[in-house]
């Protein structure tokens, strides 16, 4: 197990390359969770994520002989950029194996740091197996994204920074993929402040750490199905499992729907863009049992494709009832459509889309169906709108949108 000295040494080495990611107080997430929530924005870090910490620390600890061999890594994106950056700074060769599903922005960013990129397999585990084959064949030094002491020493420097800036922190929320980030943070935080609570957060569709703790052994999931691609890991590291067992107090899972909602709030209220895996911890703030605590949520990365940003915002709007889809039947006679539009305007909602289906087969022969999409201020506004329609004798039927 890592010692405090190892974290301090890693912090000193990383001081040459890291950007300061100071805590940001969040009024909106504090209000919704009943706690004082602070964001640790590692999405603003150099290379766009926390991964530079572990990768750079690992590479800086290699011997001259190991550096001559070059390094290889497998990654869904962020570790790739960390390794590529560390290798470039050290003047050594880097080869990165990435899943074919990796967002283009991460692939291109990795290449820009001078690394050779090989796309292989559908998920991280496939890329990992390919990288291990090349390690043996070509003699590269493998830089594991999470199952490595030097790597987690680097990740643990986040805890040192948090407790230096906010010593009274009660809870740290940390995303879990392979387990390296939470292993380092939990170990370092518990050494400095044993009473602190460390809570890991996983996507429901890839909860490999949650299952491992439940079974008391490392298990491999049949699939990793989540929009949080950076944490779509079927099996956590065995080293990380030991750290999690010893230092992590609880693991929370969040749905893809909850990620969409958190993404929207982070963009709208803080003007912060983070990737889906990076917002696991902020999405979990609403699920905390604790109240009136000082909570730090680690936003682990911000490397997200522009098209995904647009999709996440739209889905988040639907999730928060800011976009409301419904149908309503009206008599098929002049002036009825205008009445509906006027009613919506009176309630302060904005019509985005309206489809007038005169041939829809309804129970009442002389009625027609309207399909309407409106922009609202949220759930309370939707309730008021629905009530206003009912008071005028209209029946609204909500259209359940497919947002996953």
Please list the active-site residues: 51, 300
Q: CA nearest 234: which of 211, 201, 259, 260?
A: 211
CA distance 386 to 142: 59
302-312 per-residue burial string, b: 16 or more CB within 10 A, e: under 16: bbbeeebeeeb
For residue 100, what is the DSSP state? Answer: T
Helix (H), strand (E) at residue 298 = strand 294-299
Cα→Cα distances 282→60, 246, 285, 392, 396, Å: 32, 24, 5, 41, 34
Strand-strand pairing, 24-26 and 36-41 = antiparallel
- Residue 351 pairs with which residues in a beta bridge? 374
- Is residue 370 within 8 Å of residue 287, measured between CB atoms? no
- Residue 84 CB partners (closer than 8 Å, separation 6+): 94, 96, 110, 113, 114, 115
- Is residue 349 within 8 Å of residue 376, measured between CB atoms? yes
Residues 132, 57, 253: CA angle, nearest 5 degrees: 70
- Is residue 146 within 8 Å of residue 183, measured between CB atoms? yes
CA distance 359 to 369: 8
188 dihedral zone (left: phi>0; alpha: psi -120 to 50; beta): alpha
- Residue 239 CB partners (closer than 8 Å, separation 6+): 147, 148, 149, 152, 183
Q: CA nearest 154: which of 245, 64, 49?
A: 49
């Amino acid at each position: 197990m890592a010692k405090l000295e190892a974290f301090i040494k890693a912090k000193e080495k990383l001081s040459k390359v890291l950007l300061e990611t100071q805590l940001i107080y969040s009024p909106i997430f504090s209000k919704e969770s009943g706690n004082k929530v602070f964001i640790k924005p590692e999405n603003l870090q150099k290379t766009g994520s926390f991964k530079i910490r572990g990768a750079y620390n690992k590479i800086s600890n290699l011997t001259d002989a190991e550096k001559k061999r070059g390094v290889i890594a497998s990654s869904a994106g962020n570790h790739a950029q960390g390794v590529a950056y560390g290798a470039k700074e050290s003047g050594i060769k880097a080869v990165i194996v990435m899943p074919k599903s990796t967002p283009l922005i991460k692939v291109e960013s990795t290449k820009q740091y001078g690394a050779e990129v090989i796309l292989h397999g559908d998920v991280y585990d496939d890329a990992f197996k390919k990288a291990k084959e090349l390690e043996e064949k070509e003699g590269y030094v493998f830089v594991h994204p999470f199952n490595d002491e030097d790597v987690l020493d680097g990740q643990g420097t986040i805890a040192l920074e948090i407790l230096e800036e906010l010593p009274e922190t009660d809870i740290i929320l940390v995303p879990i993929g392979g387990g390296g980030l939470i292993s380092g943070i939990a170990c370092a935080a518990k050494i400095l402040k044993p009473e602190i609570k460390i809570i890991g957060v996983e996507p429901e569709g890839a909860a490999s750490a949650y299952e491992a703790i439940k079974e008391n052994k490392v298990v491999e999931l049949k699939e990793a199905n989540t929009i949080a691609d950076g944490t779509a890991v079927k099996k956590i590291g065995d080293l990380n499992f030991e750290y999690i067992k010893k230092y992590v107090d609880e693991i929370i899972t969040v749905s893809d729907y909850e990620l969409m909602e958190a993404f929207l709030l982070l963009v709208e209220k803080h003007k912060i863009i983070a990737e889906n895996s990076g917002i696991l911890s902020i999405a979990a703030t609403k699920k905390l049992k604790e109240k009136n605590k000082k909570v730090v949520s680690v936003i682990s990365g911000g490397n997200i494709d522009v098209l995904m940003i647009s999709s996440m915002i739209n889905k988040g709007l639907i999730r928060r009832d800011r976009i409301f889809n419904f149908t309503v039947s009206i008599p098929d006679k002049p002036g009825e459509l205008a009445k509906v539009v006027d009613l919506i305007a009176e309630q302060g909602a904005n019509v985005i889309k309206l489809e007038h289906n005169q041939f829809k087969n309804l129970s009442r022969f002389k009625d027609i169906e309207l399909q309407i999409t409106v922009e609202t201020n949220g759930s309370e506004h939707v309730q008021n709108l629905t009530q206003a329609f009912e008071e005028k004798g209209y029946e609204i039927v909500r259209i359940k949108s497919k947002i996953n």
